[in-house]
Amino acid sequence: MDSRQRLLREYKEYQKSPDEEITLTILEDNLFEWVALVNGPTNSPFENGKWKLKIKCPSNYPISPPSIHFVTKCFHPNVDFKSGEVCLDILKTSWSPVWTLQYLCRAIITLLSEPNADSPLNCDAGNLIRSGDMRGFNSMARMYTIESALQTTL
C-alpha cells in the first residue's frame, strides 16, 4: 500500500468513527499535510483548551513518522515554545508504522497530562517540574491555556 492510499484510508476511518477530543482535517486537499485540533485533557492545566497542530507526512509514510508541531502556543516541557516542535519518542526512535495520525493525536493529549521534564524542549517548564514546583508549572500552563488555547479553531 502506498502512502497516499494509507493516508486516505486513515481519513476514511477517522470519518467513520470520529473522536470527540480530536478533529482531523486534510490541508488544502494535500493528503500529506493535515491540521488537527486536540482538546486539553480533563483535570490538567490544559483543560478546556484546544491546540491546533500541523502534521506533515513524509512521502514514505508510514515507514517514516510524520512531523507534528503545535501551532497554538503551549507551555509544556516537551513542546518548544517558539517553534511548536514536539519531543515525543513515538515520533522519533519508537515509531511504528502501525500507528495512525489519530493515534498520534491521542498520544499528544496524553503527553499534555503527563509531562516529561527529563528531556525538555522548554527548559523553563522543565525546570519548574524538576524542582518540584508543580503549582508554578500548572499556573503558567493554565495562564497560557487561557491566553492562547481557549479560542483556537481550525
Catalytic residues: 87
What span, in angstroms and rounded, lies between the C-alpha atoms of 27 and 25?
6
Give the torsion sign (CA, 124, 127, 131, 137).
Answer: positive
Angle, to 10 degrees, between the axis of helix 123-130 and the axis of helix 134-144? 150
Phi, psi of 109 (to 5 degrees): -60, -40
Is the preceding peptide bond at 62 cis, omega within 30 degrees of 0? yes
As separate numbers, helices (DSSP H) first and strands (DSSP E) second, the chain gives: 4, 4
